[in-house]
Chains A and B, each alone.
Chain A
């Protein structure tokens, strides 16, 4: 499979524009395509957000505290904490550390 499945130049150009700011959306031409694309994107985004919805529930007994979301965090080096669930490492002050993120998870 071609290496640049998502990272094709055109898309990357758009991403760079989006991440670096100034650009103007193109004029709409093919509305049918937009509707289909919107449905696909909407389904994905809706699924991602829906899991975060908190439904009220009836409480009969006091529940135990939930397990920590970050209980499996560990320190590969003094002053660095890595969070496997997030695939990310941070310094002791809480600033993201790209160096250790790369070394621990991406290398």
Chain B
């Protein structure tokens, strides 16, 4: 198996596991008046290793949200070039001084976090699609915030 197919399969598997985990955790995690999966997010982020800066994590959150919106909301498609630039921006700069193996581990950790975040947004969005897609509309309407949709 080449590295492309390995990465592809790993990401798909990660996203699937995260999505399923998000749905399973939804009932117990969700506040009664809140779409946000508080406890599921806490399990992901509270002891997250600092593989990215605060700004990089935020950019990765927005990429995952937009990817999830393409699945849940009508009229949204990812623009591959914009997504490429967005992911590049979200992960730059990479940590300095890593060996080749350490760099692979870092990349894997970044993809794992992206896939997990994507899965949690899928869970939140599918639980309350109207609210979720209104947020997507808000992003698309705000020219001061970049998006990666067509």
Contact = CB atoms under 8 A, between A and B. Distances in A.
Give chain B's interface residue range (CB within 8 Å of chain A): 35 or more
B105 A70 contact: no
Given A6-B94, A70-B38, A98-B66, A18 B15 contact: yes
A33 B61 CA distance: 31
Contacts of A85: 42, 45-46
Contacts of B46: 69, 85
Given A94-B34, A95-B134, A4 B2 contact: no
A102 B7 CA distance: 28
Nearest to B55: A106
A25 B58 contact: no
Interface in A59-104: 69-70, 83-88, 90-91, 93-99, 101-104
Interface residues of A, number: 64
B45 A99 contact: no
B112 A44 contact: yes
A86 B41 contact: yes
Nearest to A26: B5
B85 A16 contact: no
A98 to B, nearest CB: 4
Interface string A10-48: 111111111110010111111101100110110111011
Given A26-B8, A48-B49, A98-B145, 19 more contacts: A3-B89, A5-B92, A5-B94, A7-B84, A7-B89, A9-B84, A12-B83, A25-B5, A30-B1, A41-B10, A45-B14, A88-B61, A91-B135, A93-B128, A95-B131, A96-B36, A101-B58, A104-B58, A106-B58
